[in-house]
Structure 1
């Protein structure tokens, strides 16, 4: 949350990442020299990922696409046949009933 507090009143879920980022800036920069900020890029990326989940969402989308491709390439071998659906009484129930009753 923007206030820095979580939903239950404690620190937000990204607060530890924010602390790591600030610690990196304090250690690697001074008031006169900001060149040490480059060392803090991984911590900054971790903090942004915690806030926005963009990398995680991209991975999930890639996995979904791969799963759909795999399903399309290898159709189910145990898929129900039209005859088995008829036996459940979903299609042509009248004919199945006549066959069973004689």
Structure 2
């Protein structure tokens, strides 16, 4: 468990979640029926999420994968053609590139 102190003093960002979990744990520690139902489990999950952000990262990865899948399903309609790329000087103009690089040195 974290000490409860943040990097710059004061309480850490996850300490309130830890306090909520501990309050629930103390209230249900002597009640075996309540312990089996696990009323404190959501509070513990909130604390772990605050510490590690696993659910947040998983949600972001799922969103990125959905975006990539959508892009693969619908390729760009206005993508440049091979001739347009050559006209930009990217392909087929190696001599000009070498001459320009030689002039700069």
Q: Which bin holds the TM-score, normalised by the shorter protein?
A: 0.7 to 0.9
Q: CA RMSD in A?
A: 2.1
TM-score (norm 2): 0.72
> 2:39: which partner in 1?
39
Q: Identify the range of structure 1 (33-42 vs 81-90) with the bigger mean alpha-carbon deviation.
A: 33-42
> Relative contact order (C-alpha < 8 Å, sep 6+): which is higher?
2
Moved over 4 A (4+): none
Please give the TM-score of this superposition, normalised by the length of structure 1.
0.74
Task: Give the match for residue 99 of structure 2.
Answer: none
1:49 and 1:81 map into 2 onto residues whose CA distance is: 47
Unaligned residue ranges in structure 2 (runs of 5+): 95-105
- Number of aligned residues: 92
**Where in structure 1 are there 5+ consecutive unaligned residues?**
95-102
Report the Cα offset of residue 26 of structure 1.
3.6
